[in-house]
Amino acid sequence: MKNLKSAIWAEFLKARRSETVWLVALGFCLAPSIAGLFMVILKNPEAARSMGLISAKANLTAGEASWAAYFNMLAQMAAIGGAILFGMLTAWVFGREFSDRTVKELLSLPTSRAAIVTAKFLVVLACTFVISVAFLLVGLTIGHLVEIPGWSVELAKTFLVDFSGAILLTIVLLPFVALAASWGRGYQAAFGWIILTIILAQISVVTGWGSLFPWAIPALFSGAAGLRSEQLTPYSIPIVLLASAVGVAATLLWWRNADQTR
Protein backbone atom coordinates (compact mmCIF):
# COMPACT_ATOMS: atom_id res chain seq x y z
CA MET A 1 0.00 0.00 0.00
CA LYS A 2 2.83 2.40 0.84
CA ASN A 3 4.47 1.77 -2.50
CA LEU A 4 1.18 2.38 -4.29
CA LYS A 5 0.71 5.72 -2.54
CA SER A 6 4.22 6.76 -3.52
CA ALA A 7 3.63 5.70 -7.12
CA ILE A 8 0.36 7.63 -7.28
CA TRP A 9 2.01 10.73 -5.82
CA ALA A 10 4.85 10.53 -8.35
CA GLU A 11 2.48 10.13 -11.29
CA PHE A 12 0.33 13.05 -10.15
CA LEU A 13 3.41 15.24 -9.88
CA LYS A 14 4.38 14.32 -13.44
CA ALA A 15 0.87 15.11 -14.68
CA ARG A 16 0.64 18.41 -12.82
CA ARG A 17 3.91 19.64 -14.29
CA SER A 18 3.20 18.46 -17.82
CA GLU A 19 1.94 20.70 -20.61
CA THR A 20 0.26 17.67 -22.20
CA VAL A 21 -2.47 17.45 -19.58
CA TRP A 22 -3.27 21.16 -19.84
CA LEU A 23 -3.27 21.11 -23.64
CA VAL A 24 -5.63 18.13 -23.68
CA ALA A 25 -7.91 19.94 -21.24
CA LEU A 26 -7.82 23.11 -23.35
CA GLY A 27 -8.52 21.23 -26.57
CA PHE A 28 -11.41 19.29 -25.06
CA CYS A 29 -13.00 22.37 -23.51
CA LEU A 30 -12.81 24.30 -26.80
CA ALA A 31 -15.46 22.00 -28.26
CA PRO A 32 -18.38 23.73 -26.44
CA SER A 33 -17.16 27.05 -27.86
CA ILE A 34 -17.46 25.64 -31.37
CA ALA A 35 -20.92 24.27 -30.61
CA GLY A 36 -21.88 27.65 -29.16
CA LEU A 37 -20.69 29.40 -32.33
CA PHE A 38 -22.90 27.09 -34.41
CA MET A 39 -25.85 28.03 -32.23
CA VAL A 40 -25.12 31.75 -32.70
CA ILE A 41 -25.03 31.24 -36.46
CA LEU A 42 -28.23 29.20 -36.48
CA LYS A 43 -30.02 31.78 -34.33
CA ASN A 44 -29.27 34.58 -36.76
CA PRO A 45 -27.74 33.40 -40.05
CA GLU A 46 -28.08 36.80 -41.74
CA ALA A 47 -26.10 38.52 -39.00
CA ALA A 48 -23.51 35.72 -39.19
CA ARG A 49 -23.14 36.28 -42.92
CA SER A 50 -22.72 40.02 -42.43
CA MET A 51 -19.91 39.35 -39.94
CA GLY A 52 -18.23 36.93 -42.34
CA LEU A 53 -18.81 33.87 -40.13
CA ILE A 54 -20.43 31.98 -43.01
CA SER A 55 -20.64 32.48 -46.74
CA ALA A 56 -23.74 33.76 -48.51
CA LYS A 57 -24.16 30.34 -50.13
CA ALA A 58 -24.05 28.34 -46.89
CA ASN A 59 -27.07 26.13 -46.28
CA LEU A 60 -28.23 26.18 -42.67
CA THR A 61 -31.67 24.64 -43.08
CA ALA A 62 -30.51 21.31 -41.66
CA GLY A 63 -30.05 22.63 -38.14
CA GLU A 64 -31.85 24.65 -35.51
CA ALA A 65 -30.80 26.75 -32.57
CA SER A 66 -32.15 24.81 -29.60
CA TRP A 67 -30.89 23.21 -26.42
CA ALA A 68 -31.81 19.81 -27.85
CA ALA A 69 -29.54 20.34 -30.88
CA TYR A 70 -26.82 21.90 -28.72
CA PHE A 71 -26.85 19.04 -26.21
CA ASN A 72 -26.75 16.48 -29.01
CA MET A 73 -23.74 18.24 -30.49
CA LEU A 74 -21.95 18.34 -27.14
CA ALA A 75 -22.56 14.63 -26.49
CA GLN A 76 -21.16 13.69 -29.91
CA MET A 77 -18.14 15.97 -29.45
CA ALA A 78 -17.49 14.43 -26.04
CA ALA A 79 -17.57 10.87 -27.40
CA ILE A 80 -15.43 11.50 -30.48
CA GLY A 81 -13.15 14.14 -28.97
CA GLY A 82 -12.71 12.05 -25.84
CA ALA A 83 -11.55 9.05 -27.83
CA ILE A 84 -8.85 11.18 -29.47
CA LEU A 85 -7.75 13.55 -26.70
CA PHE A 86 -8.12 11.16 -23.77
CA GLY A 87 -6.27 8.61 -25.86
CA MET A 88 -3.44 11.10 -26.36
CA LEU A 89 -3.34 11.73 -22.61
CA THR A 90 -3.16 8.00 -21.89
CA ALA A 91 -0.44 7.56 -24.51
CA TRP A 92 1.59 10.25 -22.75
CA VAL A 93 1.11 8.77 -19.27
CA PHE A 94 2.26 5.31 -20.37
CA GLY A 95 4.64 6.26 -23.17
CA ARG A 96 6.62 9.10 -21.64
CA GLU A 97 8.86 6.76 -19.66
CA PHE A 98 10.16 5.31 -22.93
CA SER A 99 10.43 8.62 -24.78
CA ASP A 100 12.25 10.22 -21.83
CA ARG A 101 14.38 7.09 -21.43
CA THR A 102 13.50 6.80 -17.75
CA VAL A 103 11.84 3.39 -17.94
CA LYS A 104 14.93 1.51 -16.68
CA GLU A 105 15.10 3.69 -13.58
CA LEU A 106 11.35 3.27 -13.05
CA LEU A 107 11.50 -0.52 -13.29
CA SER A 108 14.47 -0.67 -10.93
CA LEU A 109 12.57 1.04 -8.11
CA PRO A 110 11.42 -1.09 -5.13
CA THR A 111 7.83 -0.60 -6.27
CA SER A 112 5.80 -3.41 -7.78
CA ARG A 113 4.95 -3.24 -11.47
CA ALA A 114 1.28 -3.60 -10.54
CA ALA A 115 1.53 -0.49 -8.34
CA ILE A 116 3.15 1.49 -11.17
CA VAL A 117 0.46 0.52 -13.67
CA THR A 118 -2.33 1.09 -11.16
CA ALA A 119 -0.97 4.55 -10.35
CA LYS A 120 -0.84 5.45 -14.04
CA PHE A 121 -4.41 4.28 -14.60
CA LEU A 122 -5.62 6.25 -11.58
CA VAL A 123 -3.95 9.40 -12.88
CA VAL A 124 -5.60 8.91 -16.27
CA LEU A 125 -8.95 8.36 -14.55
CA ALA A 126 -8.59 11.44 -12.35
CA CYS A 127 -7.45 13.72 -15.19
CA THR A 128 -10.16 12.61 -17.60
CA PHE A 129 -12.82 12.97 -14.92
CA VAL A 130 -11.78 16.53 -14.06
CA ILE A 131 -11.50 17.49 -17.74
CA SER A 132 -14.96 16.02 -18.42
CA VAL A 133 -16.50 18.03 -15.59
CA ALA A 134 -14.80 21.17 -16.95
CA PHE A 135 -16.21 20.38 -20.42
CA LEU A 136 -19.70 20.04 -18.95
CA LEU A 137 -19.49 23.31 -17.00
CA VAL A 138 -18.08 25.23 -19.96
CA GLY A 139 -20.78 23.79 -22.23
CA LEU A 140 -23.62 24.80 -19.90
CA THR A 141 -22.14 28.26 -19.36
CA ILE A 142 -21.74 28.94 -23.07
CA GLY A 143 -25.24 27.65 -23.79
CA HIS A 144 -26.75 30.11 -21.31
CA LEU A 145 -24.57 33.00 -22.50
CA VAL A 146 -25.69 32.42 -26.08
CA GLU A 147 -29.29 32.32 -24.81
CA ILE A 148 -30.27 29.20 -26.71
CA PRO A 149 -34.04 28.65 -26.65
CA GLY A 150 -35.79 25.49 -25.48
CA TRP A 151 -34.19 24.84 -22.11
CA SER A 152 -35.84 22.32 -19.80
CA VAL A 153 -34.77 20.31 -16.80
CA GLU A 154 -35.86 17.04 -18.42
CA LEU A 155 -33.78 17.81 -21.51
CA ALA A 156 -30.78 18.56 -19.30
CA LYS A 157 -31.22 15.26 -17.44
CA THR A 158 -31.35 13.35 -20.72
CA PHE A 159 -28.20 15.08 -21.91
CA LEU A 160 -26.43 14.31 -18.65
CA VAL A 161 -27.13 10.60 -19.15
CA ASP A 162 -25.95 10.73 -22.78
CA PHE A 163 -22.83 12.70 -21.90
CA SER A 164 -21.88 10.72 -18.79
CA GLY A 165 -22.42 7.37 -20.47
CA ALA A 166 -20.40 8.30 -23.55
CA ILE A 167 -17.55 9.66 -21.44
CA LEU A 168 -17.44 6.68 -19.07
CA LEU A 169 -17.49 4.18 -21.92
CA THR A 170 -14.71 6.10 -23.64
CA ILE A 171 -12.60 6.14 -20.49
CA VAL A 172 -12.95 2.44 -19.73
CA LEU A 173 -11.57 1.62 -23.20
CA LEU A 174 -8.37 3.61 -22.62
CA PRO A 175 -6.41 0.58 -21.27
CA PHE A 176 -5.85 -0.56 -24.85
CA VAL A 177 -4.16 2.77 -25.59
CA ALA A 178 -2.01 2.17 -22.52
CA LEU A 179 -1.16 -1.28 -23.80
CA ALA A 180 -0.23 0.06 -27.23
CA ALA A 181 1.99 2.77 -25.70
CA SER A 182 3.70 0.18 -23.49
CA TRP A 183 4.14 -2.43 -26.20
CA GLY A 184 5.32 0.17 -28.71
CA ARG A 185 7.58 1.76 -26.10
CA GLY A 186 6.42 5.28 -26.89
CA TYR A 187 3.64 7.30 -28.45
CA GLN A 188 3.56 6.16 -32.07
CA ALA A 189 1.88 2.78 -31.61
CA ALA A 190 -0.70 4.35 -29.29
CA PHE A 191 -1.53 7.10 -31.79
CA GLY A 192 -1.81 4.48 -34.51
CA TRP A 193 -4.19 2.48 -32.32
CA ILE A 194 -6.38 5.54 -31.71
CA ILE A 195 -6.67 6.26 -35.44
CA LEU A 196 -7.31 2.59 -36.24
CA THR A 197 -10.13 2.23 -33.72
CA ILE A 198 -11.82 5.43 -34.92
CA ILE A 199 -11.73 4.19 -38.53
CA LEU A 200 -12.97 0.73 -37.58
CA ALA A 201 -15.72 2.26 -35.44
CA GLN A 202 -16.99 4.22 -38.44
CA ILE A 203 -16.92 1.12 -40.61
CA SER A 204 -18.71 -1.00 -38.00
CA VAL A 205 -21.53 1.53 -37.70
CA VAL A 206 -21.98 1.77 -41.47
CA THR A 207 -22.05 -2.01 -41.81
CA GLY A 208 -24.50 -2.41 -38.93
CA TRP A 209 -22.10 -4.01 -36.46
CA GLY A 210 -21.48 -0.93 -34.33
CA SER A 211 -23.41 -2.25 -31.35
CA LEU A 212 -20.93 -5.13 -31.07
CA PHE A 213 -17.70 -3.20 -31.67
CA PRO A 214 -16.47 -1.72 -28.36
CA TRP A 215 -14.97 1.45 -29.81
CA ALA A 216 -18.16 2.38 -31.66
CA ILE A 217 -20.41 1.97 -28.63
CA PRO A 218 -19.55 5.25 -26.80
CA ALA A 219 -20.57 7.35 -29.82
CA LEU A 220 -23.72 5.28 -30.31
CA PHE A 221 -24.56 5.75 -26.63
CA SER A 222 -24.25 9.52 -27.08
CA GLY A 223 -26.92 9.47 -29.78
CA ALA A 224 -24.57 10.25 -32.65
CA ALA A 225 -26.32 7.79 -34.98
CA GLY A 226 -29.85 8.05 -33.62
CA LEU A 227 -31.80 6.90 -30.59
CA ARG A 228 -29.68 4.84 -28.20
CA SER A 229 -32.41 2.25 -27.78
CA GLU A 230 -32.35 1.60 -31.53
CA GLN A 231 -28.55 1.50 -31.87
CA LEU A 232 -27.40 -0.60 -28.91
CA THR A 233 -28.23 -4.10 -27.74
CA PRO A 234 -28.25 -5.60 -24.21
CA TYR A 235 -24.78 -6.97 -25.01
CA SER A 236 -23.19 -3.63 -25.94
CA ILE A 237 -22.22 -2.38 -22.47
CA PRO A 238 -20.95 -5.80 -21.27
CA ILE A 239 -18.81 -5.98 -24.42
CA VAL A 240 -17.16 -2.68 -23.53
CA LEU A 241 -16.57 -3.77 -19.93
CA LEU A 242 -15.10 -7.08 -21.07
CA ALA A 243 -12.80 -5.31 -23.51
CA SER A 244 -11.71 -2.95 -20.73
CA ALA A 245 -10.89 -5.85 -18.41
CA VAL A 246 -8.84 -7.51 -21.14
CA GLY A 247 -6.96 -4.25 -21.77
CA VAL A 248 -6.15 -3.76 -18.08
CA ALA A 249 -5.02 -7.37 -17.66
CA ALA A 250 -2.88 -7.26 -20.80
CA THR A 251 -1.23 -4.01 -19.72
CA LEU A 252 -0.46 -5.38 -16.26
CA LEU A 253 0.97 -8.54 -17.82
CA TRP A 254 3.15 -6.56 -20.21
CA TRP A 255 4.65 -4.44 -17.43
CA ARG A 256 5.20 -7.50 -15.26
CA ASN A 257 7.32 -9.00 -18.02
CA ALA A 258 8.78 -5.74 -19.31
CA ASP A 259 12.34 -6.88 -18.63
CA GLN A 260 11.92 -9.77 -21.05
CA THR A 261 10.42 -7.72 -23.90
CA ARG A 262 12.75 -6.60 -26.65
- Pick from 251, 255, 12, 259: nearest CA to 112: 255
Distance CA 159, CA 156 (A): 5
Percent of the chain exceeding pLDDT 70 equals: 87
Which residues have C-beta within 8 Å of that of residue 111, sequence separation ≥ 6? 3, 6, 7
Instruction: Tell me the per-residue pLDDT of 131-176, one tens digit each, with 9 for 90 and over.
Output: 999 999 999 999 999 888 888 899 999 999 999 999 999 999 999 9
pLDDT for position 139: 93
Q: What is the average pLDDT across 224-249?
A: 86
- Pick from 103, 114, 109, 94: nearest CA to 194: 94
pLDDT for position 178: 95
CA distances from 115 to 2, 5, 202, 252 (A): 10, 9, 36, 10
pLDDT for position 129: 95
Which residues have C-beta within 8 Å of that of residue 45, sequence separation ≥ 6? 54, 58, 60
Rg of the chain over Cα atoms, rounded to whole angstroms, equals: 20
- Provide the H-helix boundaries in the chain: 2-17, 19-43, 45-50, 67-99, 103-107, 113-146, 153-172, 175-183, 188-206, 217-222, 228-231, 236-256
Q: What is the average pLDDT across 120-134?
A: 94
pLDDT for position 6: 78
Q: Is the confidence at residue 49, as pLDDT, over 80? A: no
Q: How many CB atoms lie within 10 A of CB 141?
A: 12
More confident residue, 115 or 239: 239
DSSP one-letter code for 221? H
Instruction: Tell me the per-residue pLDDT of 63-104, one tens digit each, with 9 for 90 and over.
Output: 677 898 899 889 888 988 999 999 999 999 998 888 777 777
Q: Is the confidence at residue 9, as pLDDT, over 80? A: yes
Q: Is the confidence at residue 121, as pLDDT, over 50? A: yes
pLDDT for position 8: 83
pLDDT for position 56: 44
